[in-house]
Amino acid sequence: MNIFEIFQEDFLYHEYQPLHYLREGQPIFAYEALLRNLSKVNPEQVFQTATRANILYKLDSVSIHKAVQTFANRIGHGQEHLFLNIYITTILHPNFHKFFEHLVESFPSIVQHLYLEVNESSAEEMWQNNLLKESMNNLREFGVKFAIDDFGQGSSSLKKAIEYQPECIKLDRFFASNLSKDERKQRFLSFFHSYFGKDTFIVLEGIETFEDLKVAEQLGIHAGQGYYLGKPAELAIGS
């Protein structure tokens, strides 16, 4: 892949996957913006290429700006939130807070609808950076919220949830797989909801069947994401 293609106008775009409230009759809670490209290169490969070329921050910030710009047209048509994946290195980058301040000034309606989604399996040394909590709290002053993604993959998941106090936790798809038949997973989700559910919005990722959906709902999980609930698709402007 030609690295210069990444930043050509309209080479990058997003598809948006819905996150649904699990109570029947409730509207869509949010959309997660998923980076795509016209060459159909695997997004992970795009980010790996950017990392090797030392332009990961630039790619991440371009992706964030494009997703916000698209989603801002939807505000006023609904109360959905936007989930944006972000690298810890981007949060810690010396230019990011200025970038984010400019983003808020350009799209002021987006802030109360925005979740920055940090992958739980990011390198432990990143999570242990003393500046991370301060940087996250500074961004919260704009009204942005944080989500921990793929929760349960890392080596110290509960510690991160307690220490960083994310507004949302997205449980890894492992917990959704065969949930309706796995009593251990059911007991864990019941415990997890009783411990975190009062203060933290809980999303179960990877819901693929009606049976697993209904059990997650019965266990009190707030929202779900997965192909059974909706596949990623481009977002119609002003819809």
CATH number at residue 78: 3.20.20.450
Length of the chain: 239
Is 77 inside any structural domain?
yes
Sign of the CA dihedral with 96 first, then 100, 101, and 106 last: positive
Higher pLDDT, 25 or 13: 13
> What are the two backbone dihedrals, phi and then psi, of residue 11, each rounded to the nearest 5 degrees?
-70, -35
Per-chain mean pLDDT for the chain: 89
Residue in the block written with tokens 């630039």: 58
pLDDT at 78: 62
In a domain, 6, yes or no: no
Strands 28-37 and 12-21: antiparallel
Q: Is the pLDDT of residue 239 over 60?
A: no
Interval 131-145: pLDDT, tens? 999 999 999 999 999
Is pLDDT at 212 greater than 90 in this prediction?
Answer: yes
Range of the domain at 114: 13-224
The number of distinct structural domains making up the chain is 1
Q: Give the three-class secondary structure for 160.
A: helix
Rounded average pLDDT over 94-108: 94
Residue 220 — pLDDT band, cuts 50, 70, 90?
A: very high
pLDDT > 70: what percent of the chain? 91
| Residue 158 falls inside a structural domain | yes
Of 120 and 223, more confident: 223
In a domain, 5, yes or no: no
**Is residue 238 predicted with pLDDT exceeding 60?**
no
**Burial class of 8 by CB neighbour count within 10 A (0 to 12, 13 to 18, 19+):** exposed
Q: pLDDT: is 26 or 201 the higher one?
A: 201
Q: Is residue 2 part of a domain?
A: no
Element (H, E) at 50: helix 43-52
In terms of Cβ atoms closer than 10 Å to its own Cβ (0-12, 13-18, 19+), residue 13 is middle
139 domain-assigned:
yes
Q: Is pLDDT at 111 greater than 60 in this prediction?
A: yes
The residue-averaged pLDDT of 44-67 equals 91
Q: How many Å apart are CA 86 and CA 157, to the nearest integer?
A: 18
pTM, two decimal places: 0.91
Average pLDDT over residues 158-170: 92
Phi-psi region of 139 (alpha: psi -120 to 50; beta: other; left: phi over 0): alpha
Residue 114: which of 167, 41, 156 has the closest Cα? Answer: 167
Output the pLDDT for position 10: 74
Tell which wins on pLDDT, 45 or 175: 175
Task: Give the DSSP letter string of 123-135.
Answer: -HHHHT-TTHHHH
1 inside domain: no
Query: What pLDDT shows up at residue 137?
Result: 94
Question: Does residue 51 surpass a pLDDT of 50?
Answer: yes
Residue 188, pLDDT > 90, answer: yes
Distances (CA, A) of 152 to 148, 160, 232: 10, 10, 23
215, two tokens: 């059990």
Domain assignment of residue 74, yes or no = yes
Q: Which of 35, 115, 131, 41 is nearest to 82 (CA)?
A: 115
Q: How far is 41 from 60, CA to CA, in rounded Å?
A: 16
What is the average pLDDT across 14-33?
A: 90
- For the residues 106-128, what does the mean pLDDT come to? 86
